[in-house]
Structure formats: C-alpha cells, structure tokens
Structure 1
C-alpha cells in the first residue's frame, strides 16, 4: 500500500498539484511516505515535516474537551456562560439574511454539545448578507491565515454579532471550535497550548504538535502555497509565517501544526483517551436531518455525510462508518471501521487543483 500511496503522491507532485506531500495509509503502524520538496526549489520534504493542519485541529480540541467532561469539570449540556460570559443573553437573527438588528432573544444558552456539533449559531456565512459583511469587517471570516486578534478580543468581537439560528437548531461550520478552544483554556485556567501539551501531546509523544513551531524546529516547517490558475503562489515561506516561533498573543482560538506520525499516534490512542460512550458520540452523526440544509456548506456536502464531535462521518455508501476531516491547507485524514488510518499532509490550499488529490487518496484501499 505504501507503493500505491507513493505513486499517487509522486504523480501529483510531477503534475504540479503540490510541491511535496507526506502520507501514511494502513493498519497498525503504516510507514510514513514523503515525496517532493519542502518549498519550490528547496530541499526534499521530510517524513517528520511539521505542517499546518488547520481544521484537522477540531478532532483534537474535541477530545481535549471531552476529557474535561470525564474529569467532572463540565457537562456536555452545561451552558458555557459561566466560563464565557461574553456569550450570555444572545440575540438570534429572524432569518440568515436579516438585518443585524432584526433579532429575537435566544431561547436557550449555548452548551458544550452545541460547540462540538457546530450547533452554536455561530459559523461561516457563505452567502452575501449583513452578517457576512459584518464578519468580514470584524476580521471574523475564516481563511487560510490564523485569526489576527488575540483570543479574548476575537471572542468579544464575535459576541457583538447575532446568532444565525437558535442554539442547537442548525449547523454552521468552523467558529464553534475556536470558541471551544477558548472554553478549554478558561476551564483549565491556562492557555490551550499549555493544557493540550500536558494532557495530550506530551503523554502521547507528539513532540511535533502545537499551536506554533518552536524556533529549534523551524527547519521542519514547509512553505505554504495556493493555486493562481496553474501557478503556485507562496503564501508563507519555509520556516516562516505566523506559525513560526512563539506568538505574541494568546492563540487559544487557533489551529495546530502537526506531523503525520504525531497525528497517527493521536488517532491510534483515541479509544484510550475518552470513554467508549464519548468515542461513539464523536464518530457518529449528531446532526438532525432537518438541520442539514444546502446553505450550510458546499453543495452536496450532506449527501451521505454526517457530523459527530469535531469530525465528519460517512453515513451511506461503500465507506459507511468512515470518519475524518480535511484541513484547508491541503490536509486530510480518515479512520475506517476496521481501524485502518489514512493521513495526507500537503501545504497547498484546498481548491479545484488539490481536491482531486484528496479524493484519490480517500479512494485508496488501506491494506
């Protein structure tokens, strides 16, 4: 299987889809494969490359929160207002396209479960609307770059805006998990990075994983790119950019960097990190059918798809029971019902050029 994976990655490197890619695929301890270069014209990409995994962070943050539930620090259906008072007394738009002052009171508080299931009422606004314009003006649009504001300031700005639906009565992607990172930080009384390092990364030996890349390891951070037509445009240099070195502000609302080996250790240990019941909830569909609407995400997203706690779940077809997720900087992972794991790490923004690589990767048969 390493050969088929290596062939796939090599073909896409040669075609110019990505400068380089790291991957693994299989049961137990599959070999990590690296092909291509860390930057255009640069050195070979290392198997232990530390990459920007973006939304693959959601599964890790979810597990961190569930471990706090099991420690008795918070309940799944507890209001988050005790720790996030900014989110008290929410207002809710009368419709997604309504004016920002056309609102009604929230009928219930936002809970931890709402955050884990993207059901808080906050999330990406994909269609032009007063809310979408306000999010853009406040620096709250999701994108390839990390949030510019520090965690507390980011949450304060988000709290100025209304919810797009009543908590627990819809699904909108992304922002709930930045709120979740801040919640974990406030529950534990320390920055998210410090808590996750002590609770997960250190015990699991994930020494290439964190919310930034330490200076001593910057030689393992590849460049980042996006496609401009057929041309690759560098967006962050190798060893540089916003993830390089200790940030000057609290990034508890941010996203991780990691390695293929580290993320494999996390996925392999998942059954021992949280209870069987929480594990079941995490990897099964938690979204009610009436809350799966076409405007939630990209067209066709809900076809045979569900959402658990921080991961997407295949609910129909040949891959039924597979769960996983992608990151916007060209990363992807999945876990099959038989325990086979696939991890793909590139550093080129997902789009029409990179998505076929992800789809072909997902179609490989783990051995």
Structure 2
C-alpha cells in the first residue's frame, strides 16, 4: 500500500471525511491516485473556489491573443460597473460614498482588488449584500449571471479599485466579463477553448442529468465527529441540463480532469506539445501581484498574508521550505498545489466543508 493510499484511508477512518480521492503527479506524466470511503475516482464533485484558477487561465488565454488587456477598464463590456461609488470608510452606511478614482480593470479582477468582495465583519455593506442575494456563503448562488451583476452593481465598493484585496466576488465578475467578451456563455467558451484541449470532459458548471449518479452528497462535519448532509447526491443546483446563465458560478470536476489542469501548470503551461498558457503570463499568474498596502490582515483568515501571496486566481507560498508553490482550495474540502521547481503537483477532493480536520488532511498531503 502506498503512502498516499495509506493517508486517505487513515483520514476516512479518523472521520475527516466520508470519502477522499487524491492524486500526486509530475509534469512528465507520472501519476499516483488513491481513493477511500464513499468517493471513487470517477466522482464529479463541487470544486467551488478551485474554479478561480481555471477562469484565470481562460482570461490569460484571451489576453495572450489580444482579445483582452490586463489594464482594460471592464466597463467597456460591463456598463453596469461604470461610474462606481466607494464607501467613505469600510463600516460606513451604504449611501456614505465618494466617487471612484478610477475604473475597475481586468487586472483588478484577477487580483481580487476590484473593491468588491467578502465582508467578514458585520457592517451596513455586508447586510446590504445579504439582502441583495450577493453575499458569499456555503449555499450555491441563486441569481442568474446578469441579475447577480446588476444586484452587485447596485452596491458601493468597499475600497478604491486596486487599494484593498477582498476575496471571491471579483471572479464572479470576471466570469461574466469573459462571457461578454466572447459573446456566449462562459461554460461553452471554457469547453471549446480550454477544457476540451486538456481532455477535461467532465468539468463544467453542472453535471448533466444523465450523469447525476456521479455527483456525491456534500457534508458538514459536526463537532462530535459526525456529518450532516448540506447538499444532496445526484440532485440540486449542480445537476442541470443548461448552464447558460452561470458564468459567475462555480464548477464541478473530477480527479482526472483537475489533475490534467494541474499537470499543465506544472509543465510550464504546456499540454501534449501545445502551449496552453503563455510562459510569461504563467509566471505572472504564480507571482504575488498584491501590493503590501492592499493586504488587509482583517480581510481573510488570520495569518494568511504572513506566509502567502496572491497571483492571478491562485495563492502562493512566499517563504519557507516550499516558497513558490502555488494553488488554491475549495470550500468543500478540495485543494490543489503545484511546485514549479520540481514539476510535481497534488490534487485532493472531498465533499466536506472546510474545517480543522480538513486542514490537517491538507497538511498531511503536503508532507508527501
């Protein structure tokens, strides 16, 4: 039994998750896969924020072709975001605003510095986001793409564009932007321009009804070590025949599919002899792009900025033994990382909301 198989079996026995699948691979094509519990390697799972690196790569492919510029104002395609208003202070009333000093750009979206994002402390803006149906949380989005953007555009920015890092919402906006740039739903564009190229045939904004049996239930881990189901198996938001209005949503994927994506990144952006990501743009993707002054220590989980940076859709280690390693997690216990120095990568999929047990699993996988 391999160390990877032993690890996933042990964590299922210890109650980390009802099921775990994982892969360790390298840019040359080496791949080790392990599964334990009620997940198998063919499961199509909700990858949540591991969508962000995929959308970032899709955006950079358009940048490389000249269809989009990193410093292009987004209101050219998203007129809803013209003439933004900005809160006078983060805790101010939503009508206590000043003019934005500049436009939101594509770079701001990729670096989560657009002025939109999660508000962790209670404030008028956080309550207004919840009332408008655009607050980030564990539940799937309920608004269609254009309605979601319209609701978000009705609210002020928490900070001037480029001044403060705030997680999550910039990538929903980026997805809608890409769909308007290419003139069709983002899911179709991803399939034809990126996912198909990498053989990621099971990745998309929902599981087709014919494959619903491959979608496992999602769970929350209780303090007593048990689990409660938070999303059903084979049903719900992530089973759909059409995803035309989901350009702001999050993807489902499989172990094999995401391993192909991670291998491409580990191989310098190349796949089967074709350059998928421009090498210079890939270096930028995995380089810290957030100015020190924008790294609000209150804007994410404690200690994040002490050892991490943010590139284009990925987090990266900025010091220590694995400096330069990059990747990202999803809220339902999914994770991947790539080590550009060794060409190795890892992918981990569960369907349990993140918590202390999941973070221990991630640390154990890193140790391999």
TM-score bin (small chain): over 0.9
1:336 aligns to 2:331 (yes or no): no
Q: Indicate if the aligned counterparts of 1:32 and 1:261 stay in contact, CA closer than 8 A.
A: no
Cα shift at 1:95: 1.2
Residues of 1 paired with 2:176 and 2:206: CA distance? 16
Aligned to 2:45: 51
Q: Deviations over 1:278-315 (max 9, x none)?
A: 00100010011111121110110101210000000101
Do the aligned partners of 1:54 and 1:255 also contact (CA within 8 Å) in 2? yes
User: What is the TM-score of this pair, normalised by structure 1?
Assistant: 0.94
Name the counterpart of 2:116: 122
Root mean square deviation, CA, Å: 1.3
Moved more, 327-336 or 195-204: 195-204
Distance 1:143 1:8 in 2: 30
> Does the 8 Å contact 2:25/2:263 carry over to 1?
no
Q: Which runs of 5+ in 2 are unaligned?
A: 270-274
SS at match of 2:35: strand
1:90 is matched with which residue?
A: 84
2:272 alignment partner in structure 1: none
Q: How far is 1:218 from its partner?
A: 1.7
Match of 1:263 in 2: 258
Question: Contact 1:46 / 1:220 at 8 angstroms: preserved in 2?
Answer: no
CA distance in 1, matches of 2:53, 2:243: 25
1:280 aligns with 2:286: no
Q: What is the match of residue 349 of structure 1?
A: 353
Query: What is the 5 A alignment of 1:117-196?
Result: 117-196=111-190
Counterpart contact for 1:90–1:105, Cα < 8 Å: yes
Tell me what 1:40 maps to: none
| Matching of residue 204 in structure 1 with residue 198 in structure 2 | yes
Name the SS for the 1:48 alignment partner: coil
Cα distance in 2 for partners of 1:56, 1:126 equals 21
Label 1:248 to 1:306 Cα distance change in 2 as closer, same or farther (>3 A). closer
Decide which of 249, 253, 263 is 1:254's aligned counterpart: 249
* Alignment length (residue pairs): 356
Distance 1:277 1:259 in 2: 28
Retained in 2: the 8 A contact 1:150–1:249? Answer: no
Partner of 1:30: 31
Q: Name the SS for the 1:335 alignment partner.
A: strand
Runs (4+) of structure 1 moved beyond 6 Å? none
